[in-house]
Amino acid sequence: MKFSEHFKLNRTQPYLDFVDIPLDTDLPVFLEPCAIKALRSPWGSELSSMLQTFFDTVLRLINSGNHTKAQQLLTSLSERNEFHLGYSSGRSRGHGFGSGSAETVWGALSKSNAAVTGLLKDLEDAALLIPGIGTDMISDAVSNIIRGPLIKYTQDMCIYYGITLTPDVASGPIWNPQNEAWEESLIPLPMTEYGKVILVPKILVRHRLTYQYDEYYRHYILPEMQHEHLAAHSSLVEVLKDGSERVTKKALMEKYGNDKLSVVEQTKVRPQILQEYKDQKAGSPSTPLTQKQFSEVEGIDLPDLDPIVEELKALATGKETAGRYEDLVEKILSVILYPSLCNPKKQHNIHDGRKRIDITYTNEAKSGFFYWLSLHYPCALIFIECKNYGKEVGNPEIDQLAGRFSPSRGQVGILICRSIDNKERLYQRCIDTAKDRRGYMLALGDDDIFEMVEAYKKDSEDRSYTILKNLWSRLIE
């Protein structure tokens, strides 16, 4: 049984912001450190900081000779079952460092292996340089280190989707970067017969880690070694019939090995190659799993937006159905705007609760329209206002949305209404607001939403969002 089924959410994975995990086993996807570090939101910065402060603390303790405390910190990355991510084929078991693996990591970081200590600067480096540390163990370690923010995310998602929270549940160890210590408390969390659950945003999971030691060795270290052996005219150089010379990767691996110990030994004398590898990975971060990939890994159907569109078309206007209109719009947007926009919040309060925004998304786009937008305009958040009116919206609604903007939150919003009788007049009002520097608003009617759905059905991975892009061009022309 999946989390969504247990809590009767009437939503499948495409309509959820979090990974819809099975409760009795694990889903073979993983929390990826590089995906976290690629986030540009304040929340992403918090997660990245927690990962770095933990690893920096462990390294500092080891370098100062406080090995006991270092091992204690690492041991707290022990196996946990509440995330349900990983390779478990049966009941979820977790693959954390535990006491044995913690000792392995400590040994690799300790002064007895000082050369490796100098190479290991980030948690994900362990996947390259420490034997026995694989994708599932790194993922579990990351889950534990950022447990605190993930708990807050879980609580927010439960409130958003109407999921019951059980009070006074043991939190498990939470990393406190200020105190450089693990702390525990009693908190509200969703509970099932399989235990507590901590949810993970689906934009943060991948099929595997970005750092792969075999890729690093074959495509970065070995080519450098080939050049060195050719320059030195070593015994591994072969002369071909045409007189050209070569050194094969096979010959290098036969002489120097091809396991992680070999990677470490060759990296020690070429540390610049490791930095080059990391820089290239940082410059081209992996992309979130697509709806199709989630469909394959979870064994579910791809999203079918047609029933939602039909319900939206049949929905009456007015206050009585305003909440349902907002729900339907959010379902559609959460599918077609993923993974550019994520972490939706309904009726988000600002100004100490004096103003509310219907739906707020976090902009984490790495390509397409919303990414371009983030490079040129303040839009960490994208604000959505839904108006289920039987009449056309006017200046009051535009002024209402403009009042939500700020330099820190963002200055881009989308005003969605049932119909627009005079599009040119409404667009001009939005243009006037932009010219007055009161923010940028894109006005959409139901027909525009339906057109975006049709575009999504033709190419679900297209992030250009032509309708939005064309409206934006009019705003700034």
- How far is it, in rounded angstroms, from Cα 392 to Cα 418? 8
Amino acid at 368: G
Average pLDDT value for residue range 3-7: 97
Amino acid at 80: R
**Top mean-pLDDT range of 71-85, 109-123, 181-195:** 181-195
For 103, the token pair is 């000792």
Average pLDDT value for residue range 430-443: 90
Element (H, E) at 182: strand 181-183
Going through 1-120 in order, the beta strands assigned E by DSSP cover: 30-31
- How far is it, in rounded angstroms, from Cα 275 to Cα 264? 14
Please name the CATH architecture into which domain 306-476 falls: 3-Layer(aba) Sandwich (3.40)
Element (H, E) at 335: helix 322-336
pLDDT digits (tens, 9 = 90+) for 194-222: 999 999 999 999 999 999 999 999 999 99
Q: pLDDT over 90 for what percent of the chain?
A: 68
CA distances from 318 to 323, 357, 365, 387, 418 (A): 10, 18, 34, 9, 10
The pair phi, psi for residue 187, each rounded to 5°, is -140, 165
Q: In this structure, are residues 120 and 109 in contact, taking their beta carbons and an 8 Å threshold?
A: yes
Strands 245-246 and 238-239: antiparallel
CA distances from 292 to 297, 337, 460 (A): 9, 15, 9
Q: pLDDT over 70 for what percent of the chain?
A: 93
How would you write 426-460 as a 3-class SS string?
A: HHHHHHHHHHCCCCEEEEEEHHHHHHHHHHHHHCC
How many other C-beta atoms lie within 10 A of the C-beta of residue 306? 10
**Better-scored residue on pLDDT, 285 or 288:** 288
Which single residue is written with the structure tokens 């049984």?
1
Q: In this structure, are residues 325 and 332 in contact, taking their beta carbons and an 8 Å threshold?
A: no
Which single residue is written with the structure tokens 């679900």?
460
At 349 the pLDDT is 43
How many residues are present in the chain?
477
Q: Buried b / exposed e across 232-246, counting CB within 10 Å, b at 16+?
A: eeeebbeeeeeeeee
Q: Is 347 left (phi over 0), alpha (psi -120 to 50) or beta?
A: left
Q: Where does the pLDDT of residue 353 fall: very low under 50, low under 70, confident under 90, or very high at 90 and above?
A: very low
- How far is it, in rounded angstroms, from Cα 20 to Cα 2? 6
pLDDT digits (tens, 9 = 90+) for 8-42: 999 999 999 999 999 999 999 999 999 999 998 88
Average pLDDT value for residue range 98-109: 68
How close are the terminal C-alpha atoms of the chain, in Å? 52
pLDDT digits (tens, 9 = 90+) for 142-155: 999 999 999 999 99
Using omega within 30 degrees of 0 as the cis cutoff, is the peptide bond preceding 14 cis? no
Q: Where does the pLDDT of residue 364 fall: very low under 50, low under 70, confident under 90, or very high at 90 and above?
A: very high
At 114 the pLDDT is 59
pLDDT over threshold 70, residue 351: no
At 90 the pLDDT is 54
- How far is it, in rounded angstroms, from Cα 452 to Cα 467? 7
- How far is it, in rounded angstroms, from Cα 220 to Cα 226? 10
Average pLDDT, the chain: 89
Element (H, E) at 189: strand 186-189
pLDDT digits (tens, 9 = 90+) for 390-404: 777 777 788 787 777
- How far is it, in rounded angstroms, from Cα 82 to Cα 92? 8
Residue spans per domain, the chain: 3-206, 213-283, 306-476
Using omega within 30 degrees of 0 as the cis cutoff, is the peptide bond preceding 223 cis? no
pTM of the prediction?
A: 0.90
pLDDT over threshold 80, residue 139: yes
**Angle 95-96-99 (CA atoms, 0-180°, nearest 5)?**
120
pLDDT over threshold 90, residue 354: no
The pair phi, psi for residue 285, each rounded to 5°, is -65, 150
Q: Where does the pLDDT of residue 181 fall: very low under 50, low under 70, confident under 90, or very high at 90 and above?
A: very high
For 301, the token pair is 């159907």
Q: In this structure, are residues 365 and 463 in contact, taking their beta carbons and an 8 Å threshold?
A: yes
CA distances from 77 to 181, 361, 397 (A): 12, 32, 50
Q: Where does the pLDDT of residue 188 fall: very low under 50, low under 70, confident under 90, or very high at 90 and above?
A: very high
At 263 the pLDDT is 92
Average pLDDT value for residue range 462-476: 93
At 355 the pLDDT is 42
CA distances from 112 to 59, 109, 127, 269 (A): 13, 8, 20, 18
Amino acid at 181: A
At 100 the pLDDT is 57
At 65 the pLDDT is 86
